[in-house]
Chains A and B, each alone.
Chain A
């Protein structure tokens, strides 16, 4: 049994320590918002937060996640209202939408670590997330907007 916390809930899973966290989240727990894109940490569709850090769950073994706190896109906010989620909706960023769980999870860490990122900061933080539909110009715009929203919500 491997125990970990996912979106605030304790999970005890009868899975191999070798199993990637991605498949435990999707197939064992049944949260399908985290996506399989490449399986080799190249595309970022599977990004989740592991003790607050953005990790690629497709290459994160369960042995590493054991005892840790995992947040998936479903747990990022209660009402789909994290500043990144709100900004994504305002700008209408997604096309097919498949990569955007990972995009938003990466952006959320960027916005926490660097509340007012420049274009260069965004490029550096988001270059690990591929979008085949090519929504990149809108991702950049949405992160700037999320940064403003985050700032406003503090005051």
Chain B
């Protein structure tokens, strides 16, 4: 399509960003021929290939390339995006080639892989443009054969003329198809007609993950590339007072040592970079480096002080109201039997298995970046401003990511890599050690919640939640006189219909510790407080916790999730020595319920026997990927609830590596069963919503077994 695109300046794609937390993006249906300019072609493609639409590229030989416009960090976009396209385009999954798009939001719409948004924000557009592409190819064949369109159909990358059996592959038709008018309302399949979508197809990237062939960011090599390791201020915003590179420069392979800056939004972090001809030489050089920091001029926090300050705020301030209905303050003030408790969740690090890394090549009038990147568009924006290079000339290549969890949506590490490249005048890979990755943040914020509530006639009469924790938006210039809009994240909407007096407020709390998104974001901490407190209310009302939720969540979706959980878990038939706990949360348009079963561990404490998860994510692509995402979310939620936390002493993280930030291991994992609710509602997220219910379902189960209410995470299963 590049050769004959009839560029019209009135572009038909309409982008609507509905907010960072959700990162939902509605993209209008468009074809390049109708005006969306193709700015940069992926380098893998030759000129003869026909770009029928931004996601579909057809080689004259018939080879089909499908573009994945999002990051692949384990959640399955590399498979799921093509699975959608292949369905309506009528090609076989085995016959396609998949490539990553480079950062280009004018062409692909939003590319920030966050907020579990890949499928839910793009599937309608992908279905429609794939179906339109199929109709174009059919029309091109009909014209070529001079037969009626209705006598032709598409299958397995070919158009077939039914009466004569004549056949042409897409490669023979693509050029002609690209010149035809685009159908405005292509015919879409019904869900019952799907051959690929909703089928548990095996992921197309798996074979490359079992033989070491897959190239992650850290595996990427550019000719002439050097390696760098950077010593950064452990207190985040200190300045380099002085450094002594004498010993570092004596390490064989070390080429250069210099001061470098890393932009974290409007904040600058300083560091000293050691550049060498191998990773190991850079790491050894850094060990020999001596840096003196000036960490004055900003407050240094320690963990006990953080939570004490939050607790004080929650008992002295009402905060900024995010949602309110009825008169909760008056009702609670009159009550003689209200519950009033505080929940607490810790700071957490992401620690994806692939430590942070980035390759940058500053070329003077352009910049090219390669790496494990969740947010190519944000990087383009930021680097463009910082280094004063046109956004179009900041080329961001996404490699596969060895996990991301929100950390690799940050813009700091590419910014630093570009700075290093600019100084050395060539390509460089900046490699973070595990210690750098685990301890330098940004972190999931640690948060305290004050929860107050009152029961009348077996139901919640009034409920009041206040949150005191850092607002991630503040690091990106978010307003401080407005409540954190994520304060209600995770809390189920139908509660608003059944609880007359209700308020949710955010009490402003700030530190000098950088925070940001961590898988499922605020739902991962809110969910623990809110769904534990609902459980406390159920016990206060003398009701079964599952029935109590059923009475309060009068909405079809929640009712079905509750019914399914009851059916699969045997909730009503539990034995005396078993504890059952339930929690349901909603985030990124998906509702997920967990039931956890625990029993006393003969060696002491409690053990988790089983977790049942029920996911309602509406329209979906691949049920096996959903199962995998929920299983993984449960494991990650389990770690954050029971095995690890980040703590600070004078702004320095007290943990270092996996030996003191221990992740769950295979011997700590319970049996997990996952169920998907089938419906045709709009697609919700899959990568994150399975995480928040785990912690409250677990602590609710422990209460059921032992009568002990856990209000602070993490806790040890061994000593409950």
A45 / chain B contacts, CB cutoff of 8 Å: 353
In the complex, whether B663 has a CB less than 8 A from a CB of chain A is yes
Give the interface segment out of B105-113, B468-476, B497-505, B664-672.
Answer: B664-672
- With contacts A35-B402, A130-B665 taken as known, whether A23 is within 8 angstroms of B279 at the C-beta atoms is yes
A93 and B283 CA atoms in complex are apart in Å by 32
Q: Mark B625-669, 1 if CB is under 8 A from A, else 0.
A: 000110111111000000000000000000001110001111101
- With contacts A96-B352, A132-B351 taken as known, whether A138 is within 8 angstroms of B628 at the C-beta atoms is yes
A136 close to B434 (CB less than 8 A): no
- With contacts A104-B210, A131-B353, A135-B631 taken as known, whether A40 is within 8 angstroms of B434 at the C-beta atoms is yes
B206 / chain A contacts, CB cutoff of 8 Å: 88-89, 92-94, 97
In the complex, whether A72 has a CB less than 8 A from a CB of chain B is yes
A16 and B633 CA atoms in complex are apart in Å by 42
Q: Mark B198-240, 1 if CB is under 8 A from A, else 0.
A: 0000110111111111111011010000010000000000000
In the complex, whether B490 has a CB less than 8 A from a CB of chain A is no
Return B206 CB to nearest CB of chain A, in Å. 5
In the complex, whether A67 has a CB less than 8 A from a CB of chain B is no
B219 close to A32 (CB less than 8 A): yes
In the complex, whether A2 has a CB less than 8 A from a CB of chain B is no
A3 and B23 CA atoms in complex are apart in Å by 53
Interface residues on B, range: 35 or more
B212 close to A137 (CB less than 8 A): no
- With contacts A92-B206, A92-B628 taken as known, whether A123 is within 8 angstroms of B400 at the C-beta atoms is no
B434 close to A37 (CB less than 8 A): yes
Return B429 CB to nearest CB of chain A, in Å. 10
In the complex, whether B403 has a CB less than 8 A from a CB of chain A is yes
B494 / chain A contacts, CB cutoff of 8 Å: none
A132 close to B400 (CB less than 8 A): no
Return B282 CB to nearest CB of chain A, in Å. 10
A96 close to B628 (CB less than 8 A): no
B631 close to A96 (CB less than 8 A): no
Q: Mark A31-67, 1 if CB is under 8 A from B, else 0.
A: 1111111111011010000000000000000000000
A96 close to B218 (CB less than 8 A): no
A contacts, CB < 8 Å to B: 16, 19-20, 23, 26-28, 30-40, 42-43, 45, 72-74, 76-77, 80, 84-85, 88-89, 92-101, 104, 122-124, 126-140
B contacts, CB < 8 Å to A: 72-76, 202-203, 205-216, 218-219, 221, 227, 252, 278-280, 283, 351-355, 400-405, 431, 433-434, 624, 628-629, 631-636, 657-659, 663-667, 669, 671-672
B355 close to A36 (CB less than 8 A): yes
A126 / chain B contacts, CB cutoff of 8 Å: 665-666
B76 / chain A contacts, CB cutoff of 8 Å: 95
B401 / chain A contacts, CB cutoff of 8 Å: 96
Given contacts A94-B209, A95-B76, list 6 more A-B pairs with CB under 8 A: A16-B252, A27-B227, A38-B658, A40-B659, A132-B636, A136-B665
- With contacts A80-B207, A94-B206 taken as known, whether A35 is within 8 angstroms of B353 at the C-beta atoms is yes
A128 and B632 CA atoms in complex are apart in Å by 18
B212 / chain A contacts, CB cutoff of 8 Å: 31-34, 72-74, 101
B400 / chain A contacts, CB cutoff of 8 Å: 96-97
B353 / chain A contacts, CB cutoff of 8 Å: 35, 37, 43, 45, 96, 98-99, 130-133
Return B292 CB to nearest CB of chain A, in Å. 25
Return A78 CB to nearest CB of chain B, in Å. 10
Query: Nearest B residue to A96 by beta-carbon distance?
Result: B74
Return B480 CB to nearest CB of chain A, in Å. 33
A99 and B72 CA atoms in complex are apart in Å by 15
A134 and B351 CA atoms in complex are apart in Å by 13
Return B317 CB to nearest CB of chain A, in Å. 37
B402 close to A127 (CB less than 8 A): no
A85 and B206 CA atoms in complex are apart in Å by 10
A97 close to B209 (CB less than 8 A): yes
B403 close to A96 (CB less than 8 A): yes
A102 and B269 CA atoms in complex are apart in Å by 34
Sample 21 A-B pairs with CB under 8 A, ordered by A number.
Answer: A16-B252, A19-B280, A27-B280, A35-B218, A35-B354, A35-B402, A37-B434, A39-B657, A42-B659, A74-B212, A74-B213, A89-B202, A94-B203, A96-B74, A97-B402, A99-B402, A127-B665, A127-B667, A129-B666, A130-B665, A135-B631
B632 close to A100 (CB less than 8 A): no
B669 / chain A contacts, CB cutoff of 8 Å: 134, 136-137
